[in-house]
Amino acid sequence: MDWYQIVLETIDMRSFSNLWFWIALAVTWSSASHWVIGVPFDMVGRARRHGGQAARDLEDVVRINVNRLLYIAEETGLWAVAIGSALLSALAVSGFVYRIELSQALFLLAFPMSLVGLLSVATAARIRGEALYGPDLWKKLSSHRFWIQVIGMLSIFVTALWGMFQNMSYTALGG
């Protein structure tokens, strides 16, 4: 038995039984709920507690990120949606029709994150449209974070169920 065979038997290279996939899933959702519209959420807590300069800093960072996000959406929105939809469709078809496990895993990561992206653009537009600042801005960012966490929990739940199903099916088939 050669070294490569030993490594492949020791480390399962399939997506849903690979520890690195689950670490990537956890890091993805942890980062998504921490960086709300590109703003670290701890700034919202600091602005609530201290006000003053912390609140002004938060409003400046939010303004910069909202303008940046909406500029990108306005300039590349149609292309981003078209290319993103094509990639998600390719992952869905190759994963769930042709049963390529890596495509399934990538789809289960990318699809919910695309929802977070759309939600972020909508929230950014609302922040700019309503000229939110102070407690109204903090409330909007907290609400946005809550919905990101809801999407994340549902995504992790569905991914865990699908991953367990895949692993049990693989084991039942004698893999």
Find the domain containing 158 and state its range: 51-169
Q: Is 37 helix (H, G, I), strand (E, B) or coil?
A: coil
Q: Is 36 helix (H, G, I), strand (E, B) or coil?
A: strand
Neighbouring C-beta atoms of residue 131, cutoff 10 Å: 9
Within a domain: 33: no
- Strand residues in the chain grouped as ranges (E): 35-36, 39-40
Within a domain: 27: no
Q: What is residue 45's predicted lDDT score, i.e. its pLDDT? A: 94
Number of structural domains (the chain) is 1
Within a domain: 151: yes
Instruction: Name the phi and psi angles at 66, rounded to 5.
Output: -65, -45
Query: pLDDT per position in the chain (175 positions), as tens?
Result: 677 776 666 555 577 888 888 999 999 999 999 999 999 999 999 999 999 999 999 999 999 999 999 999 999 989 999 999 999 999 999 999 999 999 999 999 999 999 999 999 999 999 999 999 999 999 999 999 999 999 999 999 999 999 999 888 876 666 5
Within a domain: 16: no
The model's pTM: 0.87
Within a domain: 36: no
- Which two structure tokens, joined as six digits, stand for 108? 């289960």
